[in-house]
Amino acid sequence: MATVERFLNYLEFEKRFSKHTVLSYKKDLEQFASFLKNQFETEDIDQASPSMVRSWQVYLKEAGAEARTLNRKLSSLRSFYKFCLRNDIITKNPLYNIKAVKTPKRLPTFVEGAKMDKLLDGDFQLKGEGEKGFPPGFEGIRDKVLLDLFYFTGMRVSELVGLKQGSFDAGAQTIKVLGKRSKERIIPLAPEMVEMLNNYLKELEAQEFPKSDLVLFYTEKGHPATRQYIYKVVNKYLGTVTTLKKKSPHVLRHTFATHMLNNDAPINDIKEILGHSSLAATQVYTHNTIEKLKEAYRKAGLRKE
């Protein structure tokens, strides 16, 4: 598995993939190596044949893996074997003639505008709370800022977790985000968002937390907020205004992009704010807009006589 370690180091240190992404590649490759050992009595992943890869595809399908999961795992193998070819570890890519599985088109999940207004205006009831709206004190102020940042900037959860207090520039009304592959981008903030962040930082300063890391978001106990912690916070609040199955920070990213498009924001501007490397990644949100138009057409009851 020495070649796998070389490949993972290449992803982390040369391609600058996030640790989360590198771990995903590692799990896929380890799963394939385990399959080879059980089915073909070999752990030599470098020498896998096309028939071995196809057998793995069948095995995963029979185990109930969805098409998207299958394609992601094949993509991990494809990247690994391309690396092996470039470094003269193999002479032929076993995935050369293996194609991705067709997947049904799935529109990004987003929260309707009226429901987002209810959430951000505090017109909701948290389970177990006596009064409507955000809890009093530090927790409520932090949660409000956290949700607003997701919705009004479209940043990823990993980007939000990585924010430092110095990432926020009140004078310039911007926030600096470290995106995928350590690419920095500057996101503009509305005056209301700037005021909210200033108030939050004052509240944070009043807390007796060990602030050696100077991260932007902390738990109530003073620990830097993790991805899992942020997910729980977002899930809790979205559950008060929507019945969507997915209630994750990424849903708020989808919601930001969809609402921006519905309000006629230029798609190239949305691409830059989201930190997409290609326009194709942003164009997926246009399908939500098209579906909205179709729904309006259906409700109008227009038909050809």
Q: What is the pLDDT at residue 304?
A: 46
Alpha-helix residue ranges (DSSP H) falling in the chain:
2-9, 19-40, 50-62, 67-86, 113-120, 137-153, 157-161, 191-206, 227-238, 249-262, 267-274, 279-283, 286-300
- Per-domain boundaries in the chain: 2-86, 113-298
In this prediction, residue 277 carries a pLDDT of 86
Query: Do the first three CATH levels of 2-86 and 113-298 match, i.e. the same topology?
Result: no
pLDDT of residue 300: 59
Q: Which two tokens stand for residue 101?
A: 């599985």
- Report the half-sphere exposure of 86 (CA within 13 A, side-chain side): 9
- What dihedral do alpha carbons 290, 296, 299, 303 form, nearest 10°? -70
The predicted pLDDT at position 293 comes to: 55
User: Would you call 259 a catalytic residue per the annotation?
Assistant: no
Q: What pLDDT is attached to residue 294?
A: 61
Q: Is 156 part of the annotated catalytic residue set?
A: yes
The catalytic residue among 118, 180, 211, 287 is 180
**Residue in 78, 156, 254, 271 annotated catalytic:** 156
- What are the DSSP calls for 26-92, one per residue? HHHHHHHHHHHHHHHS---GGG--HHHHHHHHHHHHHTT--HHHHHHHHHHHHHHHHHHHHTTS-SS
Q: Considering 73, 253, 254, 259, which one is annotated as catalytic?
A: 253
- What single DSSP character describes residue 166? G
pLDDT by residue, tens only, the chain of 305 residues: 689 999 999 999 999 898 889 999 999 999 999 999 999 998 789 889 999 999 999 999 999 998 889 999 999 999 999 999 999 999 999 998 898 888 766 778 899 999 999 999 999 999 877 789 999 999 999 999 999 999 999 999 999 999 999 999 999 999 999 988 888 999 999 999 999 999 999 999 999 887 677 899 999 999 999 999 999 999 999 999 999 999 999 999 999 999 998 888 999 999 999 999 888 888 888 766 666 656 655 665 654 44
Instruction: State residue 262's pLDDT score.
Output: 86
Top-level class of domain 2-86: mainly alpha
The whole-number pLDDT of residue 217 equals 96
Single out the catalytic residue among 118, 185, 276, 287. 276
Give the pLDDT confidence score for residue 305 in this predicted structure: 42
Gap between the Cα atoms of 196 and 77, Å rounded: 45
CATH class label, 113-298? mainly alpha
Is 276 annotated as catalytic? yes
